[in-house]
C-alpha cells in the first residue's frame, strides 16, 4: 500500500482491508518529489513519521518501507510515461507531469515490494484510473482494490492536506462536499447536468476564499468527461478547489 505519510483514518481503512485479505501487509511511506508541480507544496507536505509508524504497528502492518529520496532516485529519471487522454483532463490538465511522477514511483514500488494486491482510496479517483492503466498495460500481476472515501462527520473527505487548513478554512472547505452532494441529488431528480454545473460554479464564485479549478461529470469506466448524465452508466462528479493556499480534491460516485 503506497502512501506519502501523514496518515489518517482513510489510510487505516486501506490497511484494514489489506490485513483482512493478505497474508502479509506492507505499507510504504515516501513523499515523492517527482509528482509535485508546486515545489512549495512539496516542501510543506505534512510529515509525522513517528505517529505514522505507531498507527501502522497498532493496525497490524507487518512491514513499513520508508526509503530516502536518494534510494528511490539514485539519478534523475529519464523515463516518461504518458497516460493518453487522462493527461489532458482534470488533474492531468491542472497538474502537468503529475501522473508521470505517480506512474514511475508506483512502478518502482511494485517492482521492489512485488505485492499480489494493492489498495488505493476512491478519493483519488483519477489516480485509480492511472494505476489501473499502469497495471494493465505493463502486465503487473497485481489486483487493484479501491476502498471508499473516508469522511469526517461533516462530510469533508479525509486528506493529509487538511492538517494545513486553518479553522476558518476547514469550515469553508465543506463547500466542496456540499456541492457534490447537491449536484448528485439534482441529477437524480432529473436536472440537466450543464444547468447543475453552472449553478455550482456560481456558488463557488461567491466565495472569495475558495478558487474552483474544476467540477466535472465523469463516466468512470473510460474516465471521460460527460456533458449529460446517464443513469445507466457508472458515473461520478469530480472536483478540485483551492481553499486559501491548500488544494483539495474530492468526488462523489452517483451510480455504481
* Domain 2-147, architecture per CATH: 3-Layer(aba) Sandwich (3.40)
The answer on whether 127 is annotated among ligand-binding residues is: yes
* Selected catalytic residue, list 11, 98, 111, 232: 11
The answer on whether 124 is annotated among ligand-binding residues is: yes
Tell how far CA 65 is from the center of its chain: 20
Please state the φ and ψ torsions of residue 137, each to the nearest 5 degrees: -75, -25
**What's the predicted TM-score (pTM) here?**
0.94
Residue 251: which of 210, 222, 209, 223 has the closest Cα? 223
Give the pLDDT score at 97: 95
Task: Compute the average pLDDT of residues 36-65.
Answer: 94
The answer on whether 76 is annotated among ligand-binding residues is: no
Buried-state track 67-90, b at ≥16 Cβ within 10 A, e below 16:
eeeeebbeeeeeeebebeebbebb
Determine contact, residues 42/33, Cβ cutoff 8 Å: yes
Residue 29: which of 44, 9, 51, 59 has the closest Cα? 51
Domain 160-255 has CATH 3.30.1300.10: yes
The answer on whether 6 is annotated among ligand-binding residues is: yes
- Note the helical H segments in the chain: 9-21, 39-44, 49-58, 69-72, 91-94, 98-113, 125-137, 167-172, 174-188, 193-205
Q: How confident is the model at residue 131 (pLDDT cuts 50, 70, 90)?
A: very high
Domain boundaries, the chain: 2-147, 160-255
98 classed as catalytic: no
Task: Compute the average pLDDT of residues 32-42.
Answer: 90
Determine contact, residues 214/236, Cβ cutoff 8 Å: no
Segment 221-246, tens digit of pLDDT? 999 999 999 999 999 999 999 999 99
Amino acid at each position: 500500500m503506497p502512501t506519502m505519510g501523514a496518515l489518517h483514518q482513510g489510510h487505516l481503512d486501506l490497511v484494514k482491508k489489506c490485513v483482512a485479505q493478505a497474508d502479509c501487509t506492507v505499507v510504504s511511506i515516501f513523499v515523492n518529489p517527482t509528482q509535485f508541480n508546486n515545489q512549495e507544496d512539496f516542501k510543506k507536505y505534512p510529515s509525522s513519521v513517528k505517529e505514522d509508524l505507531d498507527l501502522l504497528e497498532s493496525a497490524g502492518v507487518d512491514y513499513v518501507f520508508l526509503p530516502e529520496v536518494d534510494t528511490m532516485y539514485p539519478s534523475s529519471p529519464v523515463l516518461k510515461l504518458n497516460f493518453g487522454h487522462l493527461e489532458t483532463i482534470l488533474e492531468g490538465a491542472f497538474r502537468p507531469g503529475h501522473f508521470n511522477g505517480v506512474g514511475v514511483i508506483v512502478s518502482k514500488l511494485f517492482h521492489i515490494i512485488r505485492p499480489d494486491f494493492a489498495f488505493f482510496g476512491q478519493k483519488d479517483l483519477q489516480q485509480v484510473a492511472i494505476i489501473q492503466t499502469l497495471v494493465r498495460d505493463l502486465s503487473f500481476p497485481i489486483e487493484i482494490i479501491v476502498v471508499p472515501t473516508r469522511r469526517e462527520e461533516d462530510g469533508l473527505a479525509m486528506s493529509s492536506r487538511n492538517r494545513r487548513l486553518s479553522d476558518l478554512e476547514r469550515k469553508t472547505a465543506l463547500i466542496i462536499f456540499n456541492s457534490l452532494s447537491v449536484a448528485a441529488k439534482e441529477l437524480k431528480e432529473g436536472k440537466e447536468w450543464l444547468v447543475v454545473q453552472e449553478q455550482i460554479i456560481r456558488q463557488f464564485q461567491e466565495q472569495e476564499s475558495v478558487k474552483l479549478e474544476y467540477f466535472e461529470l465523469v463516466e468512470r469506466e473510460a474516465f471521460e468527461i460527460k456533458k449529460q448524465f446517464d443513469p445507466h452508466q457508472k458515473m461520478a462528479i469530480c472536483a478540485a478547489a483551492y481553499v486559501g493556499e491548500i488544494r483539495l480534491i474530492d468526488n462523489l460516485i452517483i451510480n455504481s
